[in-house]
Amino acid sequence: MGLNFWVPLLAFGSTLITEAKNTLLVCESSTFTLPDIAGLNILSITAEPKRNQSLHFGLPLYLDLSGLNYCDVKVQVCYPNSNDNVLVQIWLPLNLKDWNGCLQAAGGGGAATGLFDSEYAAVSTNGGYFCTQDDMALLIGLGKSVVEQFFGKAAHHSYYNGCSQGDRQGYALAQKYSDLLDGVNGKCPSIGFLDVAMGPYWPQLVMKEESI
Ligand SMILES: *[C@@H]1O[C@H](CO)[C@@H](O)[C@H](O)[C@H]1NC(C)=O
Cα 65 to Cα 81: distance, rounded to the nearest angstrom: 39
Which pLDDT does position 148 carry in this prediction? 95
Average of per-residue pLDDT values in the chain: 81
pLDDT digits (tens, 9 = 90+) for 71-110: 999 999 888 877 778 888 899 999 998 898 998 888 766 5
pLDDT digits (tens, 9 = 90+) for 109-158: 654 545 455 566 777 776 555 667 888 888 889 999 999 999 999 999 99
Query: Where does residue 200 rank: exposed (0-12), middle (13-18), buried (19+ CB within 10 A)?
Result: exposed
pLDDT digits (tens, 9 = 90+) for 3-55: 444 444 444 444 444 455 678 899 999 999 999 988 888 999 999 999 999 88
Ligand 1 atom 8: the closest Cα is on which residue? Answer: 52
Neighbour tally for 146: CB within 10 Å:
23
Q: For 196-211, what is the mean pLDDT? A: 89
pTM: 0.76
**Distance between Cα 52 and ligand 1 center (Å):** 6
Ligand 1 atom 11: the closest Cα is on which residue? Answer: 52
